[in-house]
Structure formats: structure tokens, C-alpha cells
């Protein structure tokens, strides 16, 4: 049965920043078709976005944008920050949809992004200290795979990664483990698409995992197929802090979906695609950065206590 109190909270959890969209193609220092699906982290007291940028051939690369408050006065790199190596079969048709996590043991950032390889999309890893030089670690698992992010530390001696392979045409979220960030095993399904729900067709991790006292907060996108198109919306789950392959809670309803004009109209209509998050402890707010209709970047803001209250009202996954 619908739970109106919880649904009311889900609907009011996020507010769209009034200056949305915060970044568009016209803001770029060089000619581009679109900017969307950015990774986000806090760095040196400011916010850093690594944005997906699509050029006029339709290939994507990644470009760094910095801002003090994470909302205004973005400084955008004058040229692509991380570009595909076109001689490599792995990166043949561009780099897409990055996520960033701080790797505690390495003291460096881990960027997981989609390389559009000759065999289909694969998830690749690059490690960096300064976002100027990048150590490319290559593709991690075979195609088709997307929507991946590492966790910041090991669990029982192994690193963990959430990702979204497509198996038998089904697109669920998986979690895999590795001793060295290179060799991956113990693959298991983490969250499944739910028939007839808003996330019934496909799903994938949204931004990087967010640690809260109750566990790991995991935002994800869910897709519903309609007679006209596909609608991309955002839901949330809670994973166990020490064993993140255990799902403790999962939202039945979405918490953010396309409603504003800039989310409804664009290169791909009706898409809200979250890829980055920052937590601002001083004001107790969560900022979610997302691609709006696949051609601009917007931000949605929530009160961290309300998000925690909401996820604890959600049931276990069924
Ligand atoms: C997904 C990804 C995203 C994109 C979304 C909506 O499959 O390719 O990059 O934003 O579709 O078009």
C-alpha cells in the first residue's frame, strides 16, 4: 500500500537550485555540443566537477570545472582535461559519465568512467592526485558495463565496486570485489530492476557512495519505458557499512525526476542523471549534480537529516 507520509517526504526531499542549469554548452571556452553527467567532489574548500562534454562529432571527453560555492562562478579548463586515446581500442569512441571517490589507502582520487570501446562500453579506472596527470589503469570488466564507482576503502581486505553490466538484456546493479583494483571477482547482484515500478526497465549507480552513520547511502537512476519514450529518475538505497553487498533499505518511490523544463527538453528528453554528490557539513546539506536532458548540468539540494530520516522510513528491499 502507498505510504502517503513517506511519499510526501520523498517529493519534498530535494529542491532545485534556483540558478539551474548551472553549466551549459554556451558557457564552454571551446565549441561543444553539450555538457552533462559530471562527477563531483569537494577539494581545497571548493567544488570540483569533472564534466562529460560531447563534441560536434558526438564523441565525449571529460573537462574540469571549479567553483568556490559549488553553484556559481565556474572556472572551466580551456581544453579537454581527460581525452580518449583514439589509438586505443578501449577508448575508441570517447569517455563518458565519470564518478570520483577519494581512495584512502592510495591517498589519491579514483575516477571510474565509461570507455566506449570497440566491443561496447567498459568501465575504466584512472588514478590522480591533482587532476592534471592521470595514471590510466585500463578497463576493469568486459563490456557491456557502465555506471561504476569504487568505495573509498577495503572491506575484509578487498576493494569493492558497484557497476552495471547488461546480462541477458537485463540491467541490474552488481557489486564485485578485488584485492588490487585490477582483478575482480565475487560478482553478485546488489539491486534489481522492479517489474512495473518506475525503475522497471534499467537501473545503475548514480553518484559515488555516501557514508552516513547508518551505512552507505546509494543513489541510483531507474528507467521506465513508456509508449512515448523513457523516463530517467533517481531513487536511493542504504547498504551495510561493513558489508556493502547487503542492502538494508530501498526507496519504493523516486526522490527526483524530470519536472523542470530544462530536464524535460534537451538532446534526450525527460532525463535526470545524477553522477556526482558533495556533502556540506557546515550547512548540513547534500548537493546532487546531474545531467539534465543530456545537454546541461543542474544541482538539487537536500537537507542531510531529512535524507537520513527518509531512508530509515523505507522498507527492506523485496
Ligand atoms: C544512459 C547513459 C547516460 C545518459 C542516459 C540518458 O544509458 O548513456 O550517459 O545520460 O542514458 O540518455
Domain ranges of the chain: 2-313
4-12 and 304-313 helices, crossing angle to 10°: 150
Lowest mean pLDDT segment, chosen from 40-44, 88-92, 140-144, 255-259: 88-92
Q: Is 294 in the pocket of ligand 1 (CB under 6 A)?
A: yes
Q: Dihedrals φ, ψ of 170, to 5°?
A: -95, 140
Q: Is 115 in the pocket of ligand 1 (CB under 6 A)?
A: no
Confidence of residue 301 (pLDDT cuts 50, 70, 90): very high
271 CA to centre of ligand 1 in angstroms: 8
CB 120 within 8 A of CB 144: yes
Q: Evaluate if residue 85 carries a pLDDT over 90.
A: no
Ligand 1 pocket test: pick from 94, 202, 271, 295 the residue with the most ligand atoms within 8 Å of its Cβ.
Answer: 271
Compute the distance between CA of residue 266 and CA of residue 162 in angstroms, rounded to an integer.
29
pLDDT of residue 262: 98
Spell 118-154 as b/e; 16+ CB within 10 A means b.
eeebbbbbbbbeebeebebeebbbebbbbbbbbbbee
Give yes or no for residue 89 having a pLDDT over 80.
yes
pLDDT digits (tens, 9 = 90+) for 159-205: 999 999 999 999 999 999 999 999 999 999 999 999 999 999 999 99
Distance between CA atoms of 154 and 230, rounded to whole angstroms?
A: 36
Mean of pLDDT over the chain: 97
For the entire predicted model, the pTM comes to 0.98
- Of 34, 76, 75, 40, the residue nearest 55 (C-alpha): 34
Identify the CA nearest to 106 among candidates 189, 181, 184: 181
Q: Which atom of ligand 1 lies at the shortest distance from residue 271's CA?
A: 6
Cβ-in-10-Å burial (0-12, 13-18, 19+) of 308 comes to: middle
Q: Is the CB of 232 under 6 A from ligand 1?
A: yes
Over range 96-113, report the average pLDDT: 98
Cβ atoms of 35 and 296 within 8 Å: the answer is yes
Q: Does the C-beta of 34 come closer than 6 Å to ligand 1?
A: no
Shortest-distance atom of ligand 1 to CA 294: 10
CATH of region 2-313: 2.115.10.20
Contact 266, 298 (CB under 8 A): no
Question: In the predicted model, is pLDDT for residue 1 greater than 80?
Answer: no
Average pLDDT of the segment spanning 111-136: 96
Å from CA of 186 to ligand 1 middle: 27
Binned at pLDDT 50, 70 and 90, residue 283 comes out as very high
Amino acid at each position: 500500500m502507498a505510504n502517503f507520509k513517506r511519499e510526501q517526504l520523498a517529493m519534498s526531499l530535494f529542491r532545485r537550485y534556483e540558478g539551474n542549469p548551472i553549466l551549459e554548452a554556451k558557457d564552454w571556452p571551446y565549441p561543444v555540443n553539450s555538457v552533462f553527467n559530471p562527477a563531483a567532489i569537494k577539494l581545497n574548500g571548493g567544488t570540483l566537477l569533472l564534466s562529460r562534454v560531447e563534441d560536434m562529432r558526438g564523441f565525449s571527453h571529460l573537462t574540469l570545472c571549479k567553483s568556490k560555492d559549488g553553484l556559481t562562478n565556474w572556472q572551466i579548463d580551456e581544453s579537454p582535461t581527460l581525452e580518449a586515446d583514439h589509438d586505443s581500442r578501449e577508448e575508441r569512441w570517447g569517455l563518458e559519465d565519470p564518478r570520483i571517490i577519494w581512495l584512502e589507502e592510495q591517498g589519491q582520487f579514483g575516477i571510474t568512467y565509461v570507455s566506449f570501446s570497440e566491443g561496447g562500453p567498459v568501465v575504466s579506472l584512472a588514478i590522480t592526485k591533482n587532476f592534471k596527470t592521470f595514471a590510466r589503469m585500463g578497463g576493469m570488466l568486459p563490456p557491456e558495463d557502465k555506471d561504476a564507482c569504487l568505495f573509498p576503502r577495503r572491506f575484509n581486505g578487498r576493494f569493492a565496486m558497484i557497476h552495471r553490466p547488461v546480462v541477458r538484456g537485463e540491467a541490474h546493479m552488481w557489486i564485485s570485489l578485488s584485492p588490487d583494483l585490477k582483478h575482480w571477482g565475487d560478482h553478485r547482484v546488489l539491486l534489481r530492476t522492479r517489474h512495473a515500478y518506475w525503475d522497471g526497465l534499467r537501473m545503475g549507480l548514480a553518484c559515488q557512495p555516501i557514508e552516513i552513520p547508518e551505512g552507505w547511502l546509494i543513489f541510483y537512476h531507474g528507467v521506465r519505458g513508456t509508449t512515448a519514450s523513457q523516463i530517467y529518475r533517481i531513487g536511493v538505497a542504504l547498504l551495510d557499512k561493513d558489508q556493502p553487498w547487503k542492502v538494508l533499505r530501498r526507496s519504493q518511490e523516486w526522490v527526483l525526476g524530470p519536472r523542470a523544463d530544462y530536464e524535460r527538453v534537451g538532446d534526450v528528453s525527460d532525463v535526470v542523471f545524477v553522477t556526482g554528490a558533495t556533502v556540506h557539513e557546515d550547512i548540513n546539506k547534500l548537493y546532487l549534480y546531474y545531467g539534465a536532458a543530456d545537454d546541461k548540468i543542474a544541482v538539487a539540494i537536500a537537507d542531510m537529516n531529512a535524507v537520513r530520516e527518509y531512508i530509515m522510513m523505507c522498507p527492506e528491499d523485496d
